[in-house]
Structure 1
Amino acid sequence: MTSRTHDDVDVEVLVIGAGVVGIYALYRAIEAGFTAQTLEAGDGVGGVWYWNRYPAARFDSESYTYGYLFSKELFDEWKWEEEFATQPEIERYLNHVVDRFELRRHIRTGQRVVSAIWNDGDNLWEVTTETGDTVRARWVISATGGLSVPHYPEIDGIDDFNGEGHHTGAWPHQQLDFTGKRVAIIGNGPSGAQILPAIVDIVEQVDLYQRTPTWTTPLNNAPMTDEKRAWLGDNFEHVVETLNTSPSGFLHPPAGKFSTDDTAEERQAFYEQIWKAPGFGKLTSNYYDMTTNRETNLEFCEFLAGKIRGIVTDPVTAERLIPKDHLFGAKRPPFIKDYYESFNKPNASLVALRETPIVRIDATGIETTEGHRDYDIIVYATGFDFGTGALTRMGIVGRDGLDLSVDWEDGPFDFGGFAMHRLPNFFFPGGPHGAGGGNYPRYSQDQVDWIADTLIHARADGFDRFEPTAEQEESWMTMVETLAPLSIFSAEHSHYYGANVVGKPKKFLLNPGGRAKLHEILREVTSTPDYNGALEATRERVSA
């Protein structure tokens, strides 16, 4: 193949995905003066908030902490309606951002990427979509995230159902009418738990199929008041500083104490306060040792179990809803209004799949070992191929034979949760080992900022290739493997280990070192000459 000149690319920076992180990556690239384009599989922007439009889909991070922080004007002008916004408002917000900063002309929708192949001789990526279009780019930022490939349960006959069947992660755009319908919800994670109370009062019957109970606690949502908006605006710098530096990426005030600082009676009173805390405040405002002291966590779990028994009137159902196999926080805890109360309704029931497994789905409904139930609608709230799903399906081929779909068969390995050795000029913020729990956009935008700053540095100093060294990658993965057993999210049967997907290797998919470790390793890299060998100038070789 004839070598192209250094400038013979269609675009300098190609972003894949127009979700929260992808929009920000595009903004940073355009702001820095790069030519940039985004390829988006959907017909609109929003990413997970474009696809997940099921009833009651909403943030479980406070709206103003999840949104963008790069513009004080944007922060002030968007008036969030609720502390935890619903999907329609989130989608409106992201479209507003795209239009306000004139990004839409750089976004091509309906362009699902099917291959991304590194051309080492010409030092560029050749990215092809389902439509057959190919884009040549110097740098690629794949902002496809960890929640973009819906996972359907491995159940016989799933395609035989004659009613309506929809995954919460691929919900139809037309409104689905649940009125008077018989509904099955398979899965009790955040999406399944959100849908149940949203439809229980209008359906004829709803059965929630639960494999493993989770520690579901109240979201404690509230309307946004003018006073709260004024406080946020007046304290914008403080808000940004806190969100950009706190380990969790939230504004929640810390408890300021350990469990041992309180008596048994004081701890029970404190747990009552935590029960009423908003969203992830159940974790971030809890005792400092809640995530490290097993006895403290067990005591809080018993407190939560008492709440469940006090809400659910049927004692058998209540016991089935109480987790017995993990501590609070070991799996991502759903934050939902009226979840347990829904099971007190006469038309709602819980099907415990550990006791009565599903045998098959047929044309009219679901058969378990207990019998058959007819349904009009089946909701698959069964999560995603978390962390790696989108990346391993994009046909990514790096240098020296690296094929992501093959090389990650036994689990992913990377640097910083967003780059790889033998994958030059390719970044995947929000990928495996990127987030450590907490407010995901804050972690991912940390990565995007570092990527954008690196591209600016490369351009200024004459570099046109970035690739982590094998030593940098090995150091990061050693940290992941060493600290994973100590992480609060260490339940190996959770999606954080890929355990929800049959056949997927059980590998820890978060950053157990948290945000502090991410910042530490990025500072180390940028403080060494030429980014410790990760940056390379190939201009003369490419132009030859």
Structure 2
Amino acid sequence: MPSAANIVERDAVVIGGGFGGCYLLHLLRKNGYSAILLEAAPRLGGVWATSCYPGARVDCELPYYGFSDPAIWSTWNWTERFPSYKELRDYFTHVDKVWGLSKDVLFNTRVNQVEREDTSNTWLISTADGQRFRSTWTLAATGTSFKPNVPDIKGMDRFTGQMHHSAAWPEEPVDLSGKRVAIIGAGSTGIQVMQESAKVASRVVQYIRTPNFAVPMRQRKITQDEIYHSKPHIPHVFNACKQSPSGLPLSRSTRKTFDDSEEERQRVWEENWRRGGFNFGLGSYADTIISKEANHAAYAFWRAKTKARITDPQKADILAPETAPYFLGTKRPSLEQDYFEMCDRPNVEIVNNPIAEFTETGIVTEDGKTKEFDIVAVCTGYDAVTGGLRTMGIKGRKGLDLGDKWKDGVSTFLGMTVAGYPNMFIVYGPQAPTSLTNGPPFIELQCEWILNVLNKQRDEKLATVEAKKEKEEAWREHTLDLASKTLSIQTDSWWNGANVKGKKREFLLYMGGMPVFLDAANKALEDWSGFGVKPVS
């Protein structure tokens, strides 16, 4: 054990400097806790601290993809409806300046071990560069998108051109002009890279397994006049976000698809389609991801709108097939600007034949065809939701590793606490609404709940708070039961870990929405029902 002289002691250690970590640090300091934030990247911003691939931008629009603190939004002006990674990095610099976070942040500091010491009721956190920290509370804010999902394709190491995973794209811009570019994957990242590369590359080939049922982003520039006109509404918008299931100020329909006539359905879909963003999926009909018939009807509308944008019949058959290979809305919807027009260009090819291997100069598909490239963009996403938590060597009571505990299935209570891991809390993790919501409003609610736990624990002089095993098991069953009532469980996606080879397939997110989730969390805190507590000795 390292000597006490070499260990930095704080009330709380926060791991991760995205929205969750920043807000936790801000709240902790305001409430009299000593805290330090450990961030693996050289800057704040979470996924935006490292994402810099071509076209990288968020899919939740201004002003509600941000903090609700007036000190932040009243002194900041966005320039686009859906901000790019560059503007988001500037935003976090602004947040840092307003809240003064950096003085309690260690950058370029990667946590590689988090150990529970039962004798002292503390956590010992170790980093890759040999630093040690001791705390009463460990707050894991690594989010959903930290650990890249790198495919295991034969011969990848033989390729002599440039190859970059979208999660580790070089900070120095990669010149795609006149190059032969391969894009592996058709998730949100693959769509964004395609939109940019098709405009400048001599040749682009996108390798996809299934088409992306992307919907229009309706991206646009925002004028200063528009910003200042809308600022009086911003507090009300944030309030609406926190009261909605998705964290978005959308009016979710309670009507079912076939409650309306065909003519009325077309009108509803068209209206939400024109609004852009998530309006089509969330604002149209309540039964789209519950009823197969309703889903087929919504897909027929999507297909008609999409096919009209593709002139090449072969590409249209791949990108908008007559029979959908999965149910619409059962993967996180991707927002596109001109993806289908870019796919339609003569310098672009869409390949849905599986990749067999790499050569030194290109890619061979299972049909034996070889294509040569200068640059390969690997857009295969992340080991999402749980991957980041499993990178830190978290060991609870009796040295139980979190990865081993979750080997046969993830189990949490409220998505924020884990039995066997006292005084440890998770933000934006599994079995919470997480990726089914607009992140910042939901993250604020979680962080405020965690603060309430710490304050109640401090006021009542409790050494530890820990989820009860039976409550944890009940929450897991409740989470899976909610998902089982939808079509989402029939689709392979990162929502259920199916994108990562060898990962257990189970639905990882809570589908009850934010208000129902928060009500359950608040009730559990009223009398510590669901938790075991231990007084200070």
TM-score range, shorter-chain basis?
A: over 0.9
Partner residue of 1:338? Answer: 338
CA distance in 2, matches of 1:60, 1:338: 15
Question: SS of the residue aligned with 1:52?
Answer: coil
CA distance in 2, matches of 1:291, 1:337: 24
Question: SS of the residue aligned with 2:280?
Answer: helix
Partner residue of 1:462? Answer: 461
Compared with structure 1, are the counterparts of its residues 106 and 390 closer, same or farther at alpha carbon in structure 2 (3 Å cutoff)?
A: same
Counterpart pick for 1:317 among 315, 318, 332: 315
Partner residue of 2:444? Answer: 445
CA distance in 1, matches of 2:22, 2:532: 26
Partner residue of 1:236? Answer: 234
Residue deviations 1:499-539 (CA, integer Å, cap 9, x gap): 111111101111122223311221221222x45543322x3
- Where do 5+ consecutive residues of structure 2 fail to align? none
Is 1:110 matched up with 2:108? yes
Partner residue of 2:506? Answer: 507
The number of residue pairs the alignment matches comes to: 531
Structure 1 runs of 4+ with >6 Å offset: 1-4
- Counterpart AA for 1:414: T
Counting only pairs closer than 5 Å after superposition, residues 285-300 of structure 1 correspond to structure 2 as 285-300=283-298
Residue deviations 1:276-328 (CA, integer Å, cap 9, x gap): 22211122211233333332221110111112221111112111112622221
Compared with structure 1, are the counterparts of its residues 233 and 367 closer, same or farther at alpha carbon in structure 2 (3 Å cutoff)?
A: same
Select between 316-325 and 36-45 the one with higher mean Cα deviation: 316-325
Partner residue of 2:302? Answer: 304
CA distance in 1, matches of 2:219, 2:312: 27
CA distance in 2, matches of 1:22, 1:96: 15
Compared with structure 1, are the counterparts of its residues 178 and 152 closer, same or farther at alpha carbon in structure 2 (3 Å cutoff)?
A: same
CA distance in 2, matches of 1:495, 1:75: 32
Compared with structure 1, are the counterparts of its residues 444 and 487 closer, same or farther at alpha carbon in structure 2 (3 Å cutoff)?
A: farther
Partner residue of 2:356? Answer: 359
CA distance in 2, matches of 1:165, 1:172: 10
Assess if the C-alpha contact under 8 Å between 1:479 and 1:513 holds in 2.
no
Select between 470-479 and 482-491 the one with higher mean Cα deviation: 482-491
Compared with structure 1, are the counterparts of its residues 401 and 410 closer, same or farther at alpha carbon in structure 2 (3 Å cutoff)?
A: same
- Counterpart AA for 1:18: G
Partner residue of 1:426? Answer: 424
Give how far 1:447 is off. Answer: 1.4
Is 1:162 matched up with 2:163? no
Is 1:194 matched up with 2:192? yes
Select between 433-442 and 106-115 the one with higher mean Cα deviation: 433-442
- Counterpart AA for 2:349: S
Residue deviations 1:412-466 (CA, integer Å, cap 9, x gap): 1111112100001111111111225131232232211110111112112212311
Percent identity over the alignment is: 33
Partner residue of 1:144? Answer: 142
CA distance in 2, matches of 1:78, 1:3: 45
Partner residue of 1:472? Answer: 471
Give how far 1:263 is off. Answer: 1.6
Question: SS of the residue aligned with 1:373?
Answer: strand
CA distance in 1, matches of 2:339, 2:219: 14
Is 1:126 matched up with 2:157? no
CA distance in 2, matches of 1:532, 1:298: 41
CA distance in 2, matches of 1:490, 1:442: 26
Partner residue of 1:135? Answer: 133
Counting only pairs closer than 5 Å after superposition, residues 40-439 of structure 1 correspond to structure 2 as 40-69=39-68, 71-255=69-253, 257-322=255-320, 324-352=324-352, 356-368=353-365, 369-435=367-433, 437-439=436-438
Question: SS of the residue aligned with 1:184?
Answer: strand
Give how far 1:200 is off. Answer: 0.8
- Counterpart AA for 1:421: A
Compared with structure 1, are the counterparts of its residues 268 and 313 closer, same or farther at alpha carbon in structure 2 (3 Å cutoff)?
A: same
Give how far 1:43 is off. Answer: 1.4
Give how far 1:261 is off. Answer: 4.2
Give how far 1:3 is off. Answer: 13
TM-score by length of 1: 0.94
Partner residue of 1:534? Answer: 532
Compared with structure 1, are the counterparts of its residues 423 and 212 closer, same or farther at alpha carbon in structure 2 (3 Å cutoff)?
A: same
Assess if the C-alpha contact under 8 Å between 2:57 and 2:85 holds in 1.
yes
Partner residue of 2:483? Answer: 484
Assess if the C-alpha contact under 8 Å between 1:128 and 1:134 holds in 2.
yes
CA distance in 1, matches of 2:378, 2:2: 50
CA distance in 1, matches of 2:241, 2:230: 12
Assess if the C-alpha contact under 8 Å between 1:435 and 1:444 holds in 2.
no
Residue deviations 1:255-276 (CA, integer Å, cap 9, x gap): 4644344321221222222222
Assess if the C-alpha contact under 8 Å between 1:487 and 1:512 holds in 2.
no
CA distance in 2, matches of 1:462, 1:154: 51
CA distance in 2, matches of 1:151, 1:505: 15
- Counterpart AA for 2:371: R
Select between 142-151 and 480-489 the one with higher mean Cα deviation: 480-489
CA distance in 1, matches of 2:52, 2:490: 29
Partner residue of 1:36? Answer: 35
Residue deviations 1:151-198 (CA, integer Å, cap 9, x gap): 111211112111111111111111111111100000000000011111
Assess if the C-alpha contact under 8 Å between 2:245 and 2:512 holds in 1.
no
CA distance in 2, matches of 1:491, 1:15: 36
CA distance in 2, matches of 1:432, 1:504: 14
Question: SS of the residue aligned with 1:28?
Answer: helix
CA distance in 1, matches of 2:453, 2:139: 12
Question: SS of the residue aligned with 1:465?
Answer: strand
Question: SS of the residue aligned with 1:493?
Answer: coil
Give how far 1:9 is off. Answer: 6.7
Give how far 1:97 is off. Answer: 0.3
CA distance in 2, matches of 1:431, 1:139: 17
Select between 426-435 and 173-182 the one with higher mean Cα deviation: 426-435
Give how far 1:19 is off. Answer: 1.0
Select between 453-462 and 373-382 the one with higher mean Cα deviation: 453-462
- Counterpart AA for 1:263: S
Give how far 1:227 is off. Answer: 4.9
CA distance in 1, matches of 2:382, 2:3: 41
TM-score by length of 2: 0.95
Assess if the C-alpha contact under 8 Å between 1:127 and 1:135 holds in 2.
yes
CA distance in 1, matches of 2:149, 2:286: 35
Assess if the C-alpha contact under 8 Å between 2:327 and 2:488 holds in 1.
no
Compared with structure 1, are the counterparts of its residues 522 and 52 closer, same or farther at alpha carbon in structure 2 (3 Å cutoff)?
A: same
Question: SS of the residue aligned with 2:63?
Answer: helix
Select between 31-40 and 244-253 the one with higher mean Cα deviation: 244-253
Give how far 1:491 is off. Answer: 3.5
CA RMSD, Structure 1 to Structure 2 (Å)? 1.9
Assess if the C-alpha contact under 8 Å between 2:71 and 2:98 holds in 1.
no
Give how far 1:389 is off. Answer: 0.8
